Chains A and B, each alone.
Chain A
């Protein structure tokens, strides 16, 4: 940004937007400090720990050379959690316990459990929306915050219905679900006084989805069948070993054992990576498409996620989590944010003077539901 355009004190006019992730030292020390304090306080400190991690990661994201700032507080997350525990979880548990004790019929118990599972499924959508709203209201750039202006209940209802349809449609409603939910959320999102917009349907995603779906079904299922076949024959050969007296069948037995042993190994060696790759292939297509559908003022977004890079990201992140027993989760979060920042290009230019502060009250408490159900990584 050039200071030559200054008149009065103002710096910007119509300017291009660049988003970068510039890592800062200190995340490792923060992780260790948080672990220690979490243990000391039986994880009650975890709400404050999470806040510190967000502050760090947010501050590494630079938009036009000015970092994002996370202004949430640990106490807000803590209170959100407590309220959800007492207003939602405790009554649900009490209901289940009462039914388990007072009903003579097991069927009634199961019904009560099913009803509470459905309530929870609905609340997952509500919680996702509210968590996003809280985070936007606590994210500042140049002192301006984001908002989410719609109804979390309506979003929850839409997500609930779509999640129910998902298994019924053998997952073919997935692109439609993801595009509709993202579209709703994006159109209800603002940064400062200006809204984001989203245009596009789920049609273009059905080609990559079909490749994913048929690829998984056509290639992965035979491997699964091979495992079952292998297990059945391994069991068969074990039985032969016990009862079969005809030793001339030994070669056949060995072959069967080899198939029995090779089946599961082949599956792990081929089907799992194949599935992961196909899924990453679809996810990359979806992420890129969702970004392309999004705009803000005159800005368009271009994401260049690719299947291979997503697979790499996922494998390393899984290893980090496994090897650190989940303790190094903040590094996983950092890698995700960094991946998106590195591959995101913003086209067009922005007149920052047009963006005024968001109106309306920001949330007083934070993301209780998402916290209770552990909805996402942050």
Chain B
């Protein structure tokens, strides 16, 4: 057992004065308020207990190393278990327990900081991007839209067959007339992309893939899709999403270093579509917008319903997959909750409709890419 040292107990030690690398052999005495160090030539100094510091917590099973607030580079080393016990009694700040308390304080502060960071990031990535999307100069939106268009459709053929373009122009004019709050009539670009999809570009234009046009059940379906994308345009969903992505990449750069660049990361159609996974809420609002447009334009929503059904079938027997899988798939998909969205459309009171396009116009429209293919 280690014994407690009494008053004025002395121990051999080694002293480094912090001024030179010389070692001095000393005798250390535990006095009332101070620890006194002396060698053959006499006393060389005394340190008050309350200002003692230990580079590592003092414990009986290892040499005790001490320093003092008034001499931060000086070191006293005493290799005696009794000394360790005695010094911790007189200077409790040197103990393991005091060290643990200091660690706890640091951890608590870090934890609080983590909460603040999470809160700030949440605001920075959820609320701020939409605000910024509406504050952004139109010129910036157009630039961004052009960059995205280059990255997404750069190498795919642009479908511009004359009669088809005229038909799609008629569609967009009809929908735009029905849109009371519209800022500018969107341009609609048809590209022969390898996917069946349509998306809004920053700056307010819309890209539709030739595959979607060809496989759509009819002009009403295509009108429904366009009306939906005009909903994303009105709410500036694509700008918001891109700004959010930029925000995330900035945070990423700050935390992990290096850089990731917009144009590289968009990296073609698939990349951009991944980026544009809107929330369910954004999709629902775009649907609401589409319904209002279709109603005012007198277009049958059955077309959009049939389009949604088609997407469901394309996904391939989602009925047979497990419920969990389906939920998972719908969360991941660009257009979540198709069943729910079909239900909303089916529950609508019918309205008076007029045909969207003539049979010839539709025929021209679905061959809009044939020229590009040749």
Interface residues, chain A, CB within 8 Å of chain B?
A: 1, 3, 6, 8-12, 37, 40-42, 44-45, 48, 55, 59, 66, 69, 71, 74, 85, 89-90, 93, 96-97, 100-104, 106, 109-110, 113, 116-117, 120, 140-145, 192, 352-353, 355-357, 372-374
Contact = CB atoms under 8 A, between A and B. Distances in A.
Interface in B16-33: 16-26
Contacts of B162: none
Query: Interface centre among B21, B41, B136, by most A CB within 10 Å?
Result: B21
Contacts of B24: 8-11
Contact of B143 (A9, A10, A102): A102
Contacts of B166: none
Contacts of A3: 25
13 contacts: A41-B114, A45-B110, A59-B56, A69-B75, A90-B250, A104-B146, A109-B147, A140-B73, A140-B75, A142-B22, A143-B74, A192-B21, A374-B256
A252 B257 CA distance: 51
Contacts of A192: 20-21
A100 B263 contact: yes
Contacts of A37: 107, 110
Given A89-B254, A141-B21, A143-B67, 15 more contacts: A8-B24, A11-B22, A11-B23, A40-B107, A40-B110, A74-B106, A89-B253, A100-B144, A102-B143, A104-B143, A104-B146, A106-B147, A142-B23, A192-B21, A357-B19
A85 B250 CA distance: 11
B55 A71 contact: yes
B152 to A, nearest CB: 13
Nearest to B73: A143
Given A100-B262, A352-B21, A42 B117 contact: yes
A9 to B, nearest CB: 3
Contacts of B14: 11
B293 to A, nearest CB: 29
Interface string B251-282: 00110110101110000000000000000000
Interface of B: 14-26, 39-41, 44, 55-56, 65, 67, 73-75, 77, 103, 106-107, 110-111, 113-114, 117-118, 136, 139-140, 143-144, 146-147, 150, 246, 250, 253-254, 256-257, 259, 261-263
A368 B277 CA distance: 36
B140 A102 contact: yes
A372 B41 CA distance: 52
Given A8-B41, A9-B39, A142 B21 contact: yes
What are the nearest 7 A-B pairs in CB distance? A9-B39, A9-B24, A41-B110, A355-B21, A143-B16, A42-B114, A11-B23
Nearest to A109: B263
A85 B256 CA distance: 11
Contact of B17 (A120, A143, A355): A143
A9 B44 contact: yes
Nearest to B104: A37
A356 B254 CA distance: 41
B146 to A, nearest CB: 7
Nearest to A67: B65
Contacts of A101: 136, 140, 143-144
Contacts of B110: 37, 40-41, 44-45, 48
A275 to B, nearest CB: 25
Nearest to A41: B110
Contacts of A142: 16, 21-23, 75
Contacts of B16: 142-144
A173 B296 CA distance: 72
Contacts of A41: 107, 110-111, 113-114
A305 to B, nearest CB: 28
Contact of A106 (B25, B103, B106, B150): B150
Nearest to A11: B23
Nearest to A371: B257
Most buried by B among A11, A104, A142: A142
Given A45-B110, A48-B110, A142-B75, A352 B18 contact: no
B26 to A, nearest CB: 6
A285 B127 CA distance: 57
A83 to B, nearest CB: 12
A93 B253 contact: yes
Contacts of B143: 101-104
A97 B107 contact: no
A373 to B, nearest CB: 5
Most buried by B among A59, A71, A100: A100
Contacts of B55: 55, 69, 71
A10 B16 CA distance: 10
A74 B150 CA distance: 47
Scoring A3, A96, A116 by chain B CB atoms within 10 A of each residue's CB, the highest score goes to: A96
A372 B255 CA distance: 7
A11 to B, nearest CB: 4
Nearest to A69: B55
Nearest to B111: A41
Given A141-B21, A357-B19, A96 B147 contact: no
A156 B40 CA distance: 51
A117 B259 contact: yes
A9 B25 contact: yes
Contacts of A42: 114, 117-118
A26 to B, nearest CB: 10
Contacts of A11: 14, 22-25
A55 B55 CA distance: 9
B12 to A, nearest CB: 10
Q: Which of B56, B67, B110, B250 has the most CB of A within 10 A?
A: B110
Nearest to B41: A8
B70 to A, nearest CB: 14
Nearest to B23: A11
A12 B23 contact: yes
